[in-house]
Amino acid sequence: MIEISTIARLSALIATLFFSAATAHAATSDWIDNQGGRMRLIALAPDAEGHIRAALQIEPEPGWITYWREPGQGGIPPQITPAPGSGVTVKNTGYPIPKPISVGPIREIGYDAPVTLPLDLRVTGKAPAKLELTAFIGLCKDICIPFQAEFSLPLPANEQPTSRELAVLDTAKALLPKAPSPDFTVRSHRISADAKSLSLQLTLPEASGKAPAIYVTGPSGYVFFQQANATREGTAFSADMEIGTLPKDYDPKGKNWVILVVDGDRAMETTLALE
b (16+ CB within 10 A) / e for 161-189: beeebeebbeebeeeebeebeeebbbeeb
Residue 103 has pLDDT above 80, yes or no: no
What local confidence, expressed as pLDDT, does residue 126 receive?
Answer: 86
Residue 108 has pLDDT above 90, yes or no: no
* Confidence band, pLDDT 50/70/90 cuts, at residue 222: very high
CATH number at residue 198: 2.60.40.2320
Angle at 91 between CA 224 and CA 107, to 5 degrees: 20
CA dihedral 168, 171, 177, 182 (to 10 degrees): 150
Top pLDDT among 17 and 100 is at: 100
What local confidence, expressed as pLDDT, does residue 144 receive?
Answer: 86
Same domain, 54 and 168: yes
CATH number at residue 135: 2.60.40.1250
Residue 58 lies in a domain: yes
Same domain, 25 and 142: yes
Complete DSSP assignment for the chain? -EE--HHHHHHT-S--EEEEPPP-BTTBPPPEEETTEEEEEEEPPP-TTSEEEEEEEEEEPTT-BEEEEEEESS----EEEEPTTS-EEEEEE-----EEEEETTEEEEEESS-EEEEEEEEE-SSPPSEEEEEEEEEEESSSEEEEEEEEEEE--TT-PPPHHHHHHHHHHHHTSPBPPBTTBEEEEEEE-TTSSEEEEEEE-SSSS-SPPEEEEE-STTEEE--EEEEEEETTEEEEEEE-----TT---TT-EEEEEEEETTEEEEEEEE--
Residues, the chain: 275
* Contact (CB, 8 A) for 100 and 24: no
Same domain, 194 and 108: no
Residue 154 lies in a domain: yes
The arithmetic mean of pLDDT across residues 90-102, rounded, is: 93
Containing domain of residue 206, as a range? Answer: 185-273
What local confidence, expressed as pLDDT, does residue 101 receive?
Answer: 87
Residue 180 lies in a domain: no
Region for 27 from its dihedrals, namely left if φ exceeds 0, alpha if ψ lies in -120 to 50, beta otherwise:
alpha
Residue 179 lies in a domain: no
pTM of the model: 0.86
Among 112, 142, 174, give the residue marking a domain's end: 174
Same domain, 202 and 261: yes
What local confidence, expressed as pLDDT, does residue 5 receive?
Answer: 39
Q: Which residue from 39, 35, 41 is spatially nearest to 63, judged by alpha carbons?
A: 35
Among 148, 174, 200, give the residue marking a domain's end: 174
* Confidence band, pLDDT 50/70/90 cuts, at residue 236: very high
Residue 55 lies in a domain: yes
Q: Which residue from 21, 43, 30, 5 is spatially nearest to 161, judged by alpha carbons?
A: 43
CA dihedral 176, 92, 66, 267 (to 10 degrees): -20
Same domain, 23 and 120: yes
Residue 155 lies in a domain: yes
What local confidence, expressed as pLDDT, does residue 105 receive?
Answer: 76
Same domain, 129 and 196: no
Taken in order 166, 172, 176, 182, is the CA torsion positive or negative? positive
The arithmetic mean of pLDDT across residues 91-115, rounded, is: 90
Residue 256 lies in a domain: yes
The number of domains in the chain is 2
What local confidence, expressed as pLDDT, does residue 143 receive?
Answer: 84
Same domain, 63 and 13: yes
Same domain, 192 and 230: yes
What local confidence, expressed as pLDDT, does residue 1 receive?
Answer: 44
Among 119, 153, 174, give the residue marking a domain's end: 174
Same domain, 75 and 196: no
Same domain, 255 and 205: yes
Same domain, 151 and 235: no
Q: What is the mean pLDDT of the chain?
A: 88
Same domain, 190 and 166: no
Residue 25 lies in a domain: yes
Residue 139 has pLDDT above 50, yes or no: yes
What local confidence, expressed as pLDDT, does residue 10 receive?
Answer: 38
* Confidence band, pLDDT 50/70/90 cuts, at residue 24: very low
* Bridge partners of residue 37, in order along the sequence: 34, 60
* Contact (CB, 8 A) for 107 and 2: yes
